[in-house]
Structure 1
């Protein structure tokens, strides 16, 4: 499995700081969810058309890859449908230019089930998949919102013939699913994995550094290995949205050392 972190965990870092940290700590790459004050990846300086080749050459020289462009497109929200489709298509175009294999889309932008129009989501996801066809980019739909219920997501993604981003926290924490159930439901549709650890304190989910929560991360890794998964597992440390979380320099270092130890124990 390849190891990455999402830039959602380092909202105050420059692009160069992201790249140097990924290289210095021994990551295989990083996932883009904003750089510094710019959350919209197509507007990041290094991803502008005149800079893309230089950006790609630098990453190649360091043996790094951008593992995913993580859009904020929410496909099950009627009031956002035009914006969501436009954002997803812009991310697909950028991913094609950068040679990035995946973008992320969602049903809604909430981790827990909160409604949304699944038929609208299906129609827009099919449109986005069609747009991506032939571009060597696969839009992945995340296990959040109504798709914390992975049986529902399984039926959805099989009908659409798409792929899944499995956030291991959400179905377990917000839908009470076991890791085995999620893996059984999603199987070979899992193309990318977000790692989070968390606990529930006074009814509120609190995110923790890997190993300090009670999410069965080792069980997830074991199940993925058994299923033959050889894709990316990426730390999604949501510091952009929760600034009181620990600093990324500490967390990214602790994560890669801990998960490498976990993987050796499988």
Structure 2
């Protein structure tokens, strides 16, 4: 297995970073993706409360068995505005902690010509600013809204080849109706981070279930990624913050391991 096991703190939003890191150590996981901390998605504010400053975070991380794989911002690439100020709040923390990726959502409902043009222009503007400031962290765009649909995602990757993608493997399969192996074949060069989860059909549509209890084709995807020697983070995005009825993340991580799911 060459994939880097990871989980999003969306699954344990009540925990501080130190508590989330403890959970990672318990399950032998070496990377954590920060989306929520101590009951809030304002990650920079919660990091400031816990560590005081970016240097304080860096000092704590030094020697820890857990690294930070990504930060999840709430900014959206498509739409009338692109909130660079929201992203910049994360930068001092990302740079201090050597976090390589900052997640932005795609946004929108259906990909339009205007979205493609705006995405290209905004990523170019971001790239110029990143180069000017000497930042190492970079943006990745999650397949969450308009880019869930296969053809939309393929078009965007084709027309904006410098876009870096956080591929939510479940969303493009369950919502977009595309086979994960086919999707991977089309977007692999631009994918830098993976989200995984499981679900099963129910009376009210699909519902999230513990890893291995649903019908997401994880085994086939793992086999393909392993065969290609993929080394990027594969992050369990257990959406307990938005679906509090779900079992605790601890149970989901145990299931993922005991079922040899990931």
> Under TM normalisation by the shorter chain, which class is it?
0.7 to 0.9
Q: Distance in 1 between matches of 2:106 and 2:41?
A: 19
C-alpha deviation, 1:12, in angstroms = 1.5
Partner-residue secondary structure (3-state), 1:86 = helix
Q: State whether residues 75 and 104 of structure 2, in contact with CA within 8 Å, keep that contact through their aligned partners in structure 1.
A: yes
1:225 shift after superposition: 2.0
* Alignment match, 1:61: 63
Distance across 1 between alignment mates of 2:49 and 2:135: 17
Counterpart for residue 24 of structure 1: 26
Counterpart mapping for 1:40-55 below 5 A: 40-46=42-48, 50-55=52-57
Structure 2 residue matching 1:161: 3-state secondary structure: coil
Deviation (angstroms), 1:96: 1.7
CA contact (8 A) 1:193 1:233 kept: yes
Q: Which moved more, 1:40-49 or 1:133-142?
A: 40-49
Distance 1:42 1:101 in 2: 16
Local SS of the residue matching 2:104: strand
The one of the two structures with greater contact order (alpha-carbon pairs below 8 A, sep at least 6) is 2
Write the mapping of 1:25-174 to structure 2, written as runs, cut at 5 A: 25-46=27-48, 50-78=52-80, 81-82=81-82, 84-108=83-107, 113=109, 118=115, 119-133=117-131, 134-158=134-158, 159-174=160-175
C-alpha contact 2:195 2:237 (8 A) present in aligned 1: yes
CA distance in 1, matches of 2:69, 2:19: 17
Distance in 2 separating the partners of 1:74 and 1:129: 16
Runs of at least 4 residues of structure 1 off by over 4 A?
Answer: 46-50, 113-117
Aligned-CA RMSD value:
2.4
CA separation of 1:57 and 1:25: change in aligned 2, threshold 3 A: farther
Distance 2:51 2:130 in 1: 19
Within 1, Cα distance between the matches of 2:150 and 2:180?
A: 11
Kindly tell me: are residues 252 and 190 of structure 1, through their superposed partners in 2, closer, same or farther at Cα, counting changes over 3 Å?
same
SS at match of 1:128: helix
Aligned counterparts of 1:196 and 1:255: Cα–Cα separation in 2: 10
Displacement of 1:213 = 1.0
Any idea what the Cα deviations from partners look like across 1:3-46, whole Å, max 9, x if unmatched? 11100001112222112111222111110001012212221235
- Cα deviations by residue, 1:58-107 (Å, 9 ceiling, x for unpaired): 333222100000111112122xx25x322123224431222100011111
Match of 1:231 in 2: 232
Q: Structure 1: where are the runs of 5+ without partners?
A: none
Matched, 1:202 2:203: yes
Name structure 2 gaps, 5 residues minimum: none
What number of residue pairs does the alignment pair up?
255
- State the alpha-carbon separation in 1 of the partners of residues 69 and 217 from structure 2: 24
Please name the residue that 1:247 is paired with. 248
